[in-house]
Chains A and B, each alone.
Chain A
């Protein structure tokens, strides 16, 4: 890879040590709501990555011209414009998934990852770093979504991406899908388990 060390760190930091969902506590709402199946989780991860990366670039280019007092409104307008584009694209090419995501595509506008990264990073860094930061954070978010979606769909419906993966024999032996996994509260508990595993492996992240 032709990336310098610093760029590499910006890009890959959010995958684990600085993950937006489980460390920075950003973007949790959508991470929980769309993950009852794997497919919407993937689509959501990609949409957020695209929006965050490009919003970061745009805000970073404008950062010296935005007056400080109205910056939140400017950021929201940029974000809302990008989300409108993504939402129209999804409606055109992935209508079913768009239906499943319902209001949560629109809610990317208020996704805290977006605002958090714009505030914390894009306002103080150049366009290229901001792009990498947006990409990294979007992917780190997508990663968590895919993990949650994977477990919830596997245990909740016994399928992955809609294809059955648990052999018929298991059902004949008396295996039953855990309907609870599909329900909203279990998403929270799955996230808690991810946090537990992640923090017991990275002791320095534990809170006192």
Chain B
């Protein structure tokens, strides 16, 4: 239980996908213009992370890793398919994104319209593949930890994009030097938020 809690808190605050690894920056910068859309995208990303991480964890540990196929019989003990991991992970992610896209289109057409191209592009949102690759690198103890890690990173991403959108809504009324308007000031704010999040880095549970 303790392990789950600490993984969760670390994933949300310390190893925040955006402020510590800058994953998912493209959609973060492009969709953070208003809070409602940002919230929708954040929820979609969290959902996909929570679904894909356990699946990829199982695939990694029972199919891809060196010796992972040994449950098929002694002859498979030496098979190492880890070079296939990019392909497999991205295939799982792309199919889940397709699923979410269809669900959102059916039940929340307004959100579907406002997310536009960024919904199918969740498949190429680095935060999602990044989650799977970090899972591979960190070698979690069991599938529960991997799921919690997915939930945590998703919520961390959600937190960041909603915060950013809220700031940008206020920013419309401020007087910014012309060349910095739009993209430039967004980068600076993200940087400052990142410095803020760094104060969590000593956090231990």
Contact = CB atoms under 8 A, between A and B. Distances in A.
Contacts of B129: 106-107, 109-110
B67 interface: no
Contact of A195 (B95, B184, B195): B184
A124 to B, nearest CB: 16
Interface of A: 22, 25-30, 32-33, 72-73, 76-77, 80-81, 83-84, 87-88, 102-103, 106-107, 109-112, 115, 183-189, 191-192, 195-200, 206-208
Instruction: Give the size range of B's interface with the partner.
Output: 35 or more
Given A30-B126, A110-B125, A185-B192, 15 more contacts: A25-B30, A29-B126, A77-B87, A77-B91, A80-B86, A103-B137, A110-B129, A185-B19, A185-B195, A186-B191, A188-B187, A188-B191, A192-B185, A206-B178, A207-B182
A189 to B, nearest CB: 4
Specify which of A25, A80, A188, A196 lies most central, judged by the most chain B CB atoms within 10 Å of its CB: A188
Given A206-B179, A207-B182, A109 B23 contact: no
Interface stretch (B1-9, B71-79, B116-124, B142-150): B116-124
A103 B134 contact: yes
A81 B179 contact: no
Nearest to B95: A73
A112 B26 CA distance: 7
Where chain B touches its partner, the secondary structure class is: helix
Contacts of B178: 199-200, 206
Interface in B66-108: 83-87, 90-91, 94-95
A191 B120 contact: no
B86 A191 contact: no
A195 B183 contact: yes
A28 B21 CA distance: 11
Nearest to B97: A72
A37 to B, nearest CB: 16
B188 interface: yes
B46 interface: no
A28 B25 contact: yes
